[in-house]
Amino acid sequence: MKLNLHLGIIFSLYSALACSANSSFEIQTWRDGAKAAHTIAHDDYCGSSVPGVENTALPILNERGLKASLGLIAGSCKDNDWTKLKKHIAEGHELFNHSLSHVGMLEAGSLKPIAGWNNEKEIASAHQLVKEKLGYTMQFMAYPSDLATPEAKAYLLTLPDYLGARAAKHIYDGSNAGINSSNNTDPFFIKNDVYWHDGKWSLYKPTGGNMLIQHVDAALENGGWSYRTMHGVADGSWEAVPKDEYIAYADYLLKKVASGELWLAGPSEIIRYQATRENCPLVLTGNALKLKQNNELCQRYASAITVDVQIADELQGQFTQNKKPLTSKKLANGKYRIQFNPALGDLSIN
């Protein structure tokens, strides 16, 4: 009896100590604690070969509230394309640079370097045109056929608006296919998987089931980011995705997004998140969460990342940044989830 009493007192003291512990925090690998990230990309928008992106793919995605990214051949966009693109920006889809004229394609397997490519024309003037027509700043580049000379890649790095690019080589051998790891990813070499009916140069084969779904599952299995490249859907475009396969993919994405397992977003949003996590180290001093040290990469990429904060017992669970309240979501046991951009100022926890 006496022993039990003593143990009880010791336990109470221990609990009191545990409760008065300082606040602590945990950065989520992906937005809202998702296990993996995924990007839907349709190339060649404004090109005459992919009417299925506008007529089939986007309605299927919009019906389900899923966001895609569209690679523009900007020099081919007509007035009605610009009008549609304005709508797609408002719907939350990302636009990325897929060159002005799509020049420079090589036959698969060719070792010949890109010919007839001009960086200023194909990259910078395409960028400028979209800015002028839509007031939209593209931040991601996908070279035609994912082929690029070292000079083109170096040129892209000099453009301050660009945060990343799809993995490109000067040889088409499929070795830039893959899943991006959750850390240490080069934002200018984002691996992807291109849809081919027979799985050529792809990580997947149709014998393994729907290849689009296989790529989603691969990210969920290793906690990384899988980027899906497609052309049209149910049209005459190069390696077009059949409509039933696309619907199954969209339904699967919706299920995984709704369960909280998957974060579906355009490339620049995911690159920003990942780069913020890696380049903006945080420190908790007293009840203030702040940047441990600022640096150029943090400034360039910083965006809101998901941080779970375990608050000290005496605190109320109120968060302010620059004297303005920051919205939080209450999780269990004194834990709160916030979307915090550390480059915008310190966070006070009260």
Residues near Zn ion, by CB under 5 A: 43-44, 144
CB 315 → Zn ion: shortest distance, Å? 53
**Positions of E strands within 148-217:** 164-165, 193-194
What element of type H or E holds 79? helix 79-90
- Minimum CB distance to Zn ion smaller for 97 or for 119: 97
Instruction: Compute the Cα dihedral for 187, 302, 128, 59 and give only its sign.
Output: positive
Which has the closest alpha carbon to 77: 43, 48, 55?
A: 48
Taking the least distance from each CB to Zn ion, the nearer of 78 and 255 is 78
Least separation in angstroms between CB 225 and Zn ion: 21
Q: Which one, 241 or 307, has the nearer CB to Zn ion?
A: 241
**Nearer Cβ to Zn ion (49/287):** 49
CB closer to Zn ion out of 31 and 42: 42
| Nearest residue to Zn ion, by Cβ distance, number only | 43
Q: How far is the CB of 98 from Zn ion (least distance, A)?
A: 6
Cα–Cα distance between 46 and 85 in angstroms, integer? 10
User: Which residues are CB-neighbours of 164 under 8 A, at least 6 positions away?
Assistant: 139, 140, 141, 187, 188, 190, 267, 268, 271
- Tokens found for residue 211: 């290849």
| Helices 211-222 and 243-258: angle between axes, nearest 10 degrees | 20
Measured from the CB of residue 104, what is the shortest distance to Zn ion in angstroms? 10
Q: How far is the CB of 129 from Zn ion (least distance, A)?
A: 17
